[in-house]
Structure formats: structure tokens, C-alpha cells
Amino acid sequence: MSGISITCFAASYAVALALEITRLFFRSGVRGAVMLLFAGAGLLAQTLFFVYRAMHEPNAPLSSEFDWYLIAAWCLMLAYFDLTIHHPKTPFGLFVLPLVLGLIGMAQFAADRTPFPRSQAAQIWGAIHGAFLLLGTVAVFIGFVAGVMALAQAYRLKHKISPVQRFNLPSLEWLEGLNTRAITVSVIMIAIGFLSGIVLNLLHDRLHVAELPWNDPIIWTSALLVGWMLTAAGFSIFYKPARQGRKVAYLTVASFVFLVLSIGLRFFLPTQHGTTHAPHAPTTSQELNEPTLLSARGGS
């Protein structure tokens, strides 16, 4: 497993995307099987990559920003695999695989690989925070794919354009249902992730460990994202027409834009999120008795 690198599974996904693109130009009786073979090989390689990191890296595989992007890509690949198996004639890969490769590219070239600093008392909240934000992000990505496909399908129906023979899209009703579920799931997951992050920061503040200022950009951009997600979910719940046609698709696409902006701003605004700080000297007996796990690698 030590010989498996990011290039291994990224290349497999790229080949699967190339095969998806060929759907637009010619038919093939074996392409679907070959496409799933490359996607499955990449998924297996990425899974083994995580297993190896878990065996040799402290707190892996969800211990750094680098891991977070890779696991988000892995979850999207699981969704792609499931959708492709159940809807083999629909080119989901044209929409999902570029997002997967984009997340892998972010992990490889932009993400910080330094493990998140953690106190022993806050490990459980850190796991909840990272896991729910991860699941919420994946739900937003899936909603974005469904939203784009729904807009394309609505445009085709409105202008009475005959469906392209080699570019089949699911029914508008099916896409509307997926969009609505994506909004609901994403807002629940991201809200839990945000609130658990607040609890985590309160614990760190009490222990004087890896304190994150409350005016840090990562906090207020996350708050804006949660605010938008709650607004979108409320609009979808209480305004029935928002669950139909292009309106629900616009909501999921807008949620994706908000998410991308929230992620992108952290590369341009100064933030202390994910950085390691030396702890202050404990001043109370409670702090003296509170064990911590601090190091540059987030371990013991």
C-alpha cells in the first residue's frame, strides 16, 4: 500500500471521465464496463491509500485539510458509482468526475497537510465537526450536479428540444426530488458541523489550546454559509413552488456557489483555522488536571 499515491487514483478517475466524454460521440457495448472498472480501481486505490495513512499517520484519515478534501472526493465517487450502476444510460460522470478531480487537485496543490491540533477533551467534538461538514459538503455537491442537470432538462422541455440520443438525462421529477433531498440533508449536516465547531472552539478556549478568534474569517464565512443554507431550506419547505422546476435547481446551484466562495475565501483571507499554537500556562487546578495531546503532528 505504500506505493499507492494520489496520482494512481486520480489517473483512474481521469480515464473514467474521458470514457464518459466519449458517450457524446459514439456507442460502445463494453464502454460502461470499462468505465466502471477504472472508477472502481481508483476507488479501491484511494481506499487503500486511506488505510495506509490510518496505519502510519496520527489521527488519520481525517486529521488535516488535505485529508478532508480527499475524503470528500471519495464520498462523491461512491455516489457516482451508485448512480452509474442504477442509471447506466445517464452520464453522471460528466458532472461528478470533474468535481472529484477538482477536490483531489485542491488536496494535492492547495490544502494544508499539517494535522489539526487537538486536545484530548475535544477529540470527539473535532470528529463530529469534521465528519458532518464533510457529509454536508458532499450533499451540496450532489445537489449541484442534480441542479445543473435539472436546469438542462427544464430548458430542453421548455424549448421542445428533442433529447440527444447519447445524452440521456433523468426525468425532471426525479431530479427535483434529488434536489430537495440534497438541500435538506446538506443544511442539517452543515448546521451540525458548524455548531459542533463552535463547541470545539469553546473547549479549546477553556483549555487555552489552539484558540481560534471569534472574528476569524473561517467562522464568519461559515456562519454566512449556514445562514444561506437555512434560508434555502426554509424557502424550499414553506414555499411549495420552490420544490418544483427550476426554482429548486437554482437553490442547489446557489448553495454550491456559496460553499465554493466559503472555501475559496480561506485562501485569500488571514485565518488561524488549522494552525498549531502553543498552549498558555494553565492557571487553574482544573486546567492543570486536564490532559492534552499537543504536538506539531497532532499526536502525543
Question: What is the residue-wise DSSP string for 38-89?
Answer: HHHHHHHHHHHHHHHHHHHSTTTTSSSHHHHHHHHHHHHHHHHHHHHHH-TT
pLDDT at 255 over 50: yes
Residue ranges covered by each domain of the chain? 1-114, 116-276
Average pLDDT of the residues in 122-126: 70
* Mean per-residue pLDDT, 277-292: 40
pLDDT of 93 above 90: yes
pLDDT band at 142 (very low <50, low <70, confident <90, very high): very high
Report the predicted TM-score, pTM, of the whole model to 2 decimal places.
0.75
Whole-number Å distance between alpha carbons of 236 and 244: 9
Q: Do the beta carbons of residue 191 and residue 226 sit within 8 Å?
A: yes
Locate cell 453522471: which residue?
92
Render pLDDT for 202-236 as a digit per residue (tens, 0 to 9): 777 776 665 667 777 778 888 888 888 888 888 77
Under the banding of pLDDT at 50, 70 and 90, the label for residue 119 is: low
Residue 283 has pLDDT above 70, yes or no: no
- Res 44: pLDDT: 95
Comparing CA positions, the residue from 63, 116, 128, 112 lying closest to residue 276 is 116
Question: What's the pLDDT score for residue 29?
Answer: 79
Which cell numbers hold the place of 265?
Answer: 475565501
Among 113-127, 158-172, 222-236, name the most confident range: 222-236
How high is the pLDDT of residue 163?
A: 66
Q: Cα(286)–Cα(290) distance, rounded to whole angstroms?
A: 6
- Give the chain's mean pLDDT: 80
pLDDT in tens, 32-82: 899 999 999 999 999 999 888 888 776 666 678 888 899 999 999 999 999
Burial class (CB within 10 angstroms; exposed 0-12, middle 13-18, buried 19+) of 286? exposed
| Stretch 132-138: mean pLDDT | 91
φ/ψ region of 208 (left if φ > 0, alpha if ψ in -120 to 50, else beta) reads left
CA atoms within 13 A on the CB side of 2: 3
Query: What type of residue is 133?
Result: L
Whole-number pLDDT of residue 207: 64
The stretch 166-181 carries a mean pLDDT of 84
- Mean pLDDT for 16-34 is 89
The pLDDT-based confidence of 20 (bands split at 50, 70, 90) is very high
